[in-house]
Amino acid sequence: MSKPFWVAGKATHSAESVELRSPYDNAIAGSHDVPTASDVERAVAAASEVSAETAALPAHVRADALDHVSRTLARRSDELAQLITDESGKPVKWSKGEVGRAASTFRWASEEARRFSPTMQRLDTDPGAVGRTAMIRRVPRGPVLGISPFNFPLNLVAHKVAPAIAVGAPIVLKPAPSTPLTALALGEVLAETDLPTGSWSILPVPNSAAPGLVADPRLPIVSFTGSVPVGWSIKDSVPRKHVTLELGGNAGVLVAPDWTDLDFAARRIATFAMYQGGQSCISVQRVYVHADHYDELLARIVEQTEALRTGDPRDPATDVGPMINLAAAERVEGWIAAARESGATLHTGGARDGATIAPTVLSGVRHDADVMAQEVFGPVVSVNRIESVDEGLALINDSRFGLQAGVFTNDLRLAFDASARLEVGGVVIGDVPSFRADQMPYGGVKDSGIGREGPASAMLDFTEERVTVFTGLPF
């Protein structure tokens, strides 16, 4: 039986259903019913109508609901991990990690909901304001439209749903059409909470329905994670709305001359260039290695890459599974071929088997090649020789993207210098840029987007300041 969608917190069926298949072997992953236009209208209307009630919810109600979701995700971890793998092709070892992270995201949101409090500011700093004190509270901007991508079908949903609940903002979620089943399973958990009717809906509608939702004035916040052109088109189409965008990157890594643990660097670079088929916004894509280490580290990266196991994502031993679909794999295959035609050297990988691309290491890639200049979003890494740290930092910055970067160094001065000079949202010292703790601010600059995820950061984006001035009171 097809999974229902969720309208105003209620499981809902329709006459139309969609079947989902694994990108690995075309096995049936499941099916879901498709909301009608009237279902979408009911969801948006309910979010608007319940907005004041949701904003007034006591902190303990919000926090208890988030706690319940966190505990239930942890309890259902194996089931949900299998579902993620079935619909996305993500190796089950990474799917289990994603469920754990989603549980943590809801737990962090629960904690933030309990401490989301007004602040006080004294105003008697000038004679005309003696006896006045300001209280600054944050209030929801209104209902949120969350649009989530395919590559983290649970945790990136959590990063939209959890902070909305934490601040008392209703949310209408549109999951990615290729991976909606996990979001619909999350609806089963949310339905067990005491959140008000109408405070959340999960609508697995086609992408063609998104512009109407984006334009709807009853959804004043849009939180989008996905492709660059779609994200900026959303921002341009609704200039009066509060829009947050997480649009990806082409993460760079610098290996400085003082770094000596080349085995660790090679293992981390190979693993996190290829994990999840390279389909992560902070997957390692560009590596800049000082000439002192270049030849040795390149050889070790190739060795570590060749040790990764590809195959059935349901096998716990599989490291690298398929891409989300055949078209994505064919695109990456073409980009690899184009890089080689322009002079790049292929050290390993490059072949395609259905939707699976063999983990690929290139060197000598032109800076303007797609695998360097664009977001490859596939299991491909380009390793480049540099003569100085300054050159490496400049090359990382020479990109339209700016999400995260990694710097392998033990030099504290270089670490601070890189943190100041790299034009990215986050710098990871001593590791690859693929590290993300779900409670930290996460987001980018330039074409990587605007705004920040992480429960506390997103809660700021979903709210605005309201000032109350008290008169005639001692500070």
Give the burial class of 349: count Cβ atoms within 10 A of its Cβ; 0-12 exposed, 13-18 middle, 19 or more buried: buried
Neighbours of 265 (CB within 10 A): 25
Query: Would you call 391 a catalytic residue per the annotation?
Result: no
* Cα angle: 272, vertex 275, 278; to 5 degrees: 90
The rounded distance, in Å, linking the Cα atoms of 418 and 54 is 43
What one-character DSSP code corresponds to residue 3? B
The rounded distance, in Å, linking the Cα atoms of 452 and 385 is 33
Q: Please, which residues bridge with residue 32 across strands?
A: 3, 18
Query: Would you call 246 a catalytic residue per the annotation?
Result: yes
Question: Which tokens hold the place of 98?
Answer: 């994603």
Give the C-alpha distances (Å, rounded to integers) separating 151 from 52, 69, 89, 413, 426: 33, 21, 10, 36, 20
Give the C-alpha distances (Å, rounded to integers) separating 22 from 30, 85, 153, 250, 426: 9, 8, 14, 27, 33
Give the burial class of 472: count Cβ atoms within 10 A of its Cβ; 0-12 exposed, 13-18 middle, 19 or more buried: exposed
Active-site hit among 87, 281, 333, 453: 281
How many residues would you count in the chain? 475
Neighbours of 61 (CB within 10 A): 18
Active-site hit among 87, 98, 111, 246: 246
Active site residues: 246, 281
